[in-house]
Structure 1
Amino acid sequence: MIRYALICEHEHEFEGWFGSSGDYDDQQARGLLECPVCASKAVRKQIMAPAVAGTRRTVQDEGARPSRAMMLEAMGKLRQHVEENFDDVGDAFAKEARAIHEGKAEARGIYGQATPTEVKELVEDGVPVAPLPPEPPKKPQLN
């Protein structure tokens, strides 16, 4: 079986499986291929890298992906930056964020706690909010 990445004239991307490359050509010539999204018959193959079974993942491949440790470090730095530069308003976060958004309080960076309901209401009202990354796990103490 051969898998082709396909795209229609409206840029909808999908894949198709064929017994051989000749099967794709035959179905294309007979107008049997169509986009599953818009039913367009103007379907073509996309450029794609071949998938080779049984190859080993190289060290270079592993290095291309961010490691868990790197992600945790970045999240920790973001949290530290917020804690050092923003005002902690505690459980008054929703009230203060809304006041800043409406121009009733000084515009500044804040952080604190809010209930899921409060966060939902803030988002629905267009108040920009984002969760603070969790505290990074503590490094184990070595003996």
Structure 2
Amino acid sequence: MKVLNLQCSHQHSFEGWFASEDDFQNQLSRGLVECPMCADKSVQKLPSAPRLNLGGHQGPDTPGKASRSSSTAAGAAGAQEGATRNLPAVAGLPASASQAEQVAFLKALRHVVANTEDVGSRFAEEARRMHYGEQEARSIRGQTSVREAVELMEEGIDVMPLPLSAAIKETLQ
């Protein structure tokens, strides 16, 4: 398994797991590799340091299994830290937002997606029907123009714009 550090043309950094270098190149050439933040398919491989698996190596201070288990725990903690260290800037947040704020924002967006019905371009129409009691209220999301959103707000209908890329609507693998 090859883990590659990748970056899209919008400077979003992310990780990709591939069976081999050839597998990565094959998927890249077929347009199957895309940024999980913005769905950009213009992706390049970044330089990365190799990971050496020295599972049988024992440190001079701690012999036996204790060395291996503490090494594994440190490796897992490092992997968790690495997963959040290279988070890309997220649309809708200031560039100065901390990693914890970015993670919380993405988690909230995924919660919205998971708990709302996508009505697409019928958003304004559906929102009005619910507001005026023509149909049962439910949580919806969709697309509308800025002008239409302003008109909805003037009618007293609560709307909130959310920056949702296609990648956020799906689970990351």
Question: Could you tell me the TM-score, scaled by structure 1's length?
Answer: 0.46
Instruction: Tell which has more relative contact order, 1 or 2 (C-alpha 8 A, sep 6+).
Output: 2
Larger radius of gyration, structure 1 or 2?
1
Question: Could you tell me the TM-score, scaled by structure 2's length?
Answer: 0.38
